[in-house]
Structure 1
Amino acid sequence: MREHRGVSREELKHSAVVTVTVLMVLGLVAAWSVLIPGVMVWDNIVVAVIGSLRLTGPVAAAFAAWVAVRKRRATRGERTIRQALKAPLAILAVVVGSFGATVLVLTLRAVLSEQAGRLLPSGLAMGAAGLTLYVVLGWMLGWAVPYAITPMLAGMATYALFTWIVEGSGWADRLAPAPPEPYDLFQGLSDGAFLDQTIWLLGISAALLLGWAAAVTRQPLALAAAMLAVLTAGTGVARLLSEPDALASAQKIVYSCQEWPITVCVHPGMRGGLTELGSAFTGIAARLSGTPAAFQRVEQRSRLTAGAEDAARGVIPIHVDDLDTGYADRAAAEFVERLSRPCTEPVSAGYRAIVAAWLRGEPLPAGPLVEHQNASAWFSGLSEEQRREWLRMFYADFANCRLSVNHFGGPAYAPRPSPTPLMPVPLMPASPGGMPSSAR
C-alpha cells in the first residue's frame, strides 16, 4: 500500500468518501429541521442550507483536524507553499463538494414544487465560505495540538464558538456563518449582505491558512499573501457593518388570495394554507358580523411589525409562522385573544373565556366556579343567531372585560328599547411574541 506523507492514499480516499456521506446526510437532516413547514419560497431553502452549517461545520472541522494530526506526525523537513497547502485544500474540496450535494438535493426538491421568490447564489456562496472557515480552524487546531483527542475537541470548540457568537447580542453575530435572525418571510434576504459576508469569511479563512503556511514554510510570499487576505477580510467587515440590517425593511409582497366566502390573503409561499385559513376565519367573521370588530378580509402580516399594523376598516391582520399541523387554529386563537383586553380577575376571565371559545368554534369551557358553569350552560342553550345578537349587544363589555353574571341570563340580558350605540373597540396590538403586549 503506497504511503503519502505517513497517510496511505487508500486511507485518505476512504476517509473522504465517509466524510462526504456523513456531511451530506447530516446536512440534509439539519437543513430539513430548519425549513419552515409548508413554506414554498426560495429564501426558505437558502436559510435552511446555511442553518445546516451549525452541525456540518463542526464535523468538517473535526475531519480537518484529524487529517492535520496525521500529517503533522508524518511531516519531516522543509516544504514548499504548494506542498503545505495541498492537504487542506483537498479537505476543502471534499467538504464544499458535500455542501454542494446537499444544496443540489434540496434544489431538486424545490423545483418539483412552485417556489415563490428567487434563489440567491450569494447565500449559497456564503454557506460554502462558512464551511471553509470551519475547515481552516479545524486544520490549525489539529496541526497545533497533534493528539488523538484533538479532532473531537476541534468539533466541540468550533460548535461552542459560533453558537456563542450567534446567540450573543451586538454586531458580532453578523460575522458568523449563520442565517440571519430573526428570519421572516416578509423581510427580504439581502443579496449584498450575503456577498459582503462571503468576502469576510473567505478573507479571514485565507488569512489564517496562508499565515499558517508562512509559519511552517518560512516563505515571505505566503506571508505577503496572508496580509492581502487580511485586507480583503477587513473590506468585507467594513462593508457588512456599514450596511443597514438585512432585515430592516419589508419587501413589497404580492399576496395570494382566496376570495370566497371571505377574502383571505397570505404570502405567496404559504398559498397552500388558504383553504384551511379561510375555513377557520369564515366562522369567526360570521359571529363578529354587526360588531365593531366585523371584517371581510384577512391579511397575513409580518410578526416583526406586530403592533404597528395599519389595516383598513374591515381588514384584520393575522400572523402565520408556518403551515405545521394546527396552524389555522393557532392563527384564529391569536386573533380572538386580541379582540379583548386581558382580564385581571379570575371571575371576569372565566366569562371572557366562554365567549372566546365560542368565537373560535370550540366547546364552551365550564370552569371550576359555579357561576361559570351556569353561564356556560345558559350560553350553550342559545341558538347561534341568539349568540350573535347577544355579542352585538354586549361587544363593548366583552372587549373591555366587563362581563358578569348579569350578562348570562340576568337583568343585563333583558330586551332594551333603544340600546346605546356601540363604540368601536380597536384590536389589541400583538407583540413580536404573538400575544397582546399588555398580557406579558
Structure 2
Amino acid sequence: MSEFGRVLRVEARRSALLVAVPALAGAGVIAAWLSLVPGVAYWDNSVVALLNAVLLLGPVAAALSAWAAVRERNLDYLRDLTARSPATAALLDLLLLAAGALIAYTAVTAVVVTSTLARAGAGPLHPLGVPVGASALVLHVVAGYLAGRVAPRPATPVAVLALSWPWAMLREPGRSWLSLLPPPAFGRVALFTGLRPGVLADQLVWAAGLTAALVLAYAGWTNRRAFVAVPLAVALAVTAVATVRLASTGGRAVQAAPVAPACREWPLTVCVHPAQRAALPTLTAAAVPLAARLNGTPAGFTRVEQRPLTEPTVVAGGVATVHLDEELAPGYQTRAVRQIRDGLVTARACASPAAVRYRALVDAWLLGEPPPQAPATAAARRFGGWSEDRRRAWLRVHFAAYRDCALRASSFTGPAAGRHKGGKHGSGPSSA
C-alpha cells in the first residue's frame, strides 16, 4: 500500500491535472451560469444548467485526457520494468484524470447550488440530477484517454475533440431520443413541469454501463485475459437496456409537476409558482386597482392565480388567472393585468368604430393608463370628468354592454350614468 500511495502522489503532480482542473472548472461555471434562468430559482432548471455545463466540459475533458494518454505513452517502457499488470498504469491515470474532472464538476455544482439557494429555489433537487452529469463527464474522460492509448498520435486529442464536440453541442432538445443520451441535451424546464426521474435514472445507468464496458474491454485487451468477458457482457447488456428505455421516451424528458403555490393574502389573494415568489408584491400592487374597479360587477375577483402557459387565462368565480414571463422581464405585472382585462370580454371584435373607441376609453381607465388619443366626443368628455366612485357605479350598471362591446353614446348619459347609487356593492377591494 505504501508503494501504491507513492505512485498516486507522483501521478497527481502531473501537469495534466494542474491544467485540467482549473480549466474545466472555469469553463463549466461559465456554461452553467449562462444556462440559469435570470430571476427564477427552479431546481429542475439548476439540474439542466449542470447538464448543459457537461455539454461543454465533456469534449474538453475528453481532449485533455487524450492528450495526457498520448504524452504518458512515452513512459510505458519504464512502467514495463515493474511487476505490475500492463493495465495498472492506465487505470491509475484514468483514476486521477476522472478525479480531477469530478473536482471541477463539484466546483460547478457548488456554484449552481449556492446560486439557487440564495434565490430561495423552488421544487426538489432530484437526487439523480447531479450524478447524471458526473457519470457523463467520467465517460468522456475514459473514452478520450483510451483513444489516446490506442492511437498515441499527436493528432488524437484534436480528433477526439472534433468527434465529441458535435455529439455534445449540436443536438436539439426534444427532437429525438438521441438528445437524451449522455451528455443529455435538455431545454429549459417550464414552470409547472419537471424532469422525469426515470429518464435521469436511465441516463445514469447508460453512462455507467458504457464506462465500465470501455474499461473492461481495455483491461482485457491489454492483459490478454478472457476473465473480463462476463462482466463486459453484463455492462454491455445494461447499456443496451438503458438505450431501449431512453428510445421508448421519444425524446420526452419532462412531465407535469403540480406544486404548492406561494401566496400573498392581502389585500388580494395572489398565488404564483414558488420559483417566482419574488413577483408577489409587484403583481399584487398592479392587480389591486383593477380588482377595486371591477368590484360589484360579474367579473369582480378577489384572487389571482398563475397558470401554466398551456391553460387559458380567464376571470370566473372571483378568480382571475394569469401567465407570467419565465424570466419576469420588466413590465411583467402590466402584461398580467392586461391578461385579466382581456379575460373580461366575450366579443373580441366590436360592431362599429364608435364601440371600439368606447371600449378603449373604459379599458384605459381599468388599467390606469392615459385615455386613448381619439377625437373628442361628448361621451369621452363626460366619462373623463367623472370621479372614480362614479365610474365604478357606472361600470356596475353597464358591465354587460362593456363585456359584449356594445357600448353606445347613450350608455354615458341618463340616470344610470349620472347617479352614483349609495353604498358599496359586492365584496373585495373597494379602493386602489
- Is the 1:298–1:315 Cα contact (8 Å) retained in structure 2? yes
Percent pairwise identity: 35
Equivalent in the alignment of 2:337: 332
Question: Larger deviation: 387-396 or 40-49?
Answer: 387-396
Aligned residues: 399
Question: Larger deviation: 287-296 or 391-400?
Answer: 391-400
TM-superposed CA distance for 1:16, in Å, is: 1.9
- Stretches of structure 2 that go unaligned for 5 or more consecutive residues are 1-9, 418-432
Tell me, in whole angstroms, the C-alpha distance in 1 between the residues paired with 2:377 and 2:225.
85
Correspondence list, 1:143-158, <5 A? 151-152=157-158, 154-155=160-161, 157-158=163-164
- Is the 2:50–2:109 Cα contact (8 Å) retained in structure 1? yes
Q: Of residues 295, 310, 314 in structure 1, which corresponds to 2:318?
A: 314
With over 3 angstroms needed to count, the CA separation of the structure-2 counterparts of 1:313 and 1:241, relative to structure 1, is farther
Provide the secondary structure at the position in 1 that maps to 2:14: helix
Tell me, in whole angstroms, the C-alpha distance in 2 between the residues paired with 1:62 and 1:235.
29
Tell me, in whole angstroms, the C-alpha distance in 1 between the residues paired with 2:394 and 2:348.
21
- Is the 1:20–1:94 Cα contact (8 Å) retained in structure 2? yes
Q: Of residues 98, 108, 132 in structure 2, which corresponds to 1:102?
A: 108
Equivalent in the alignment of 1:167: 173
- Is the 1:130–1:177 Cα contact (8 Å) retained in structure 2? yes
Provide the secondary structure at the position in 1 that maps to 2:320: strand
Tell me, in whole angstroms, the C-alpha distance in 1 between the residues paired with 2:135 and 2:245.
17
With over 3 angstroms needed to count, the CA separation of the structure-2 counterparts of 1:395 and 1:417, relative to structure 1, is closer
- State the TM-score, normalizing by the size of structure 2: 0.74
Equivalent in the alignment of 1:61: 62
- Is the 1:342–1:349 Cα contact (8 Å) retained in structure 2? no
Equivalent in the alignment of 1:258: 264
Q: Of residues 125, 128, 136 in structure 2, which corresponds to 1:130?
A: 136
Report Cα offsets for 1:306-338 as digits up to 9, x if no partner. Answer: 24x898611122223244544333433444444
Equivalent in the alignment of 1:31: 32
With over 3 angstroms needed to count, the CA separation of the structure-2 counterparts of 1:414 and 1:75, relative to structure 1, is farther
Equivalent in the alignment of 1:247: 254
Q: Which amino acid aligns with 1:21?
A: P
Report Cα offsets for 1:322-373 as digits up to 9, x if no partner. Answer: 445443334334444444465599968777666555444344453xxx6599
Q: Which amino acid aligns with 1:236?
A: A
- State the TM-score, normalizing by the size of structure 1: 0.73
Cα RMSD of the aligned pairs, angstroms, is 4.2
Equivalent in the alignment of 2:20: 19
Correspondence list, 1:3-402, <5 A? 13-71=14-72, 80-111=86-117, 114-139=120-145, 142=148, 151-152=157-158, 154-155=160-161, 157-167=163-173, 169-178=175-184, 180-181=186-187, 183-212=189-218, 214=220, 218-222=224-228, 224-240=230-246, 247-251=254-258, 253-303=259-309, 305-307=310-312, 313-320=317-324, 321-340=326-345, 343=349, 355-366=362-373, 371=375, 383-385=387-389, 387-388=391-392, 391-392=395-396, 395=399, 399=403, 402=405
TM-superposed CA distance for 1:237, in Å, is: 3.3
- Is the 2:174–2:186 Cα contact (8 Å) retained in structure 1? no
Q: Which amino acid aligns with 2:168?
A: F
TM-superposed CA distance for 1:297, in Å, is: 0.4
Equivalent in the alignment of 1:413: 412
With over 3 angstroms needed to count, the CA separation of the structure-2 counterparts of 1:334 and 1:164, relative to structure 1, is farther
Tell me, in whole angstroms, the C-alpha distance in 2 between the residues paired with 1:33 and 1:58.
18
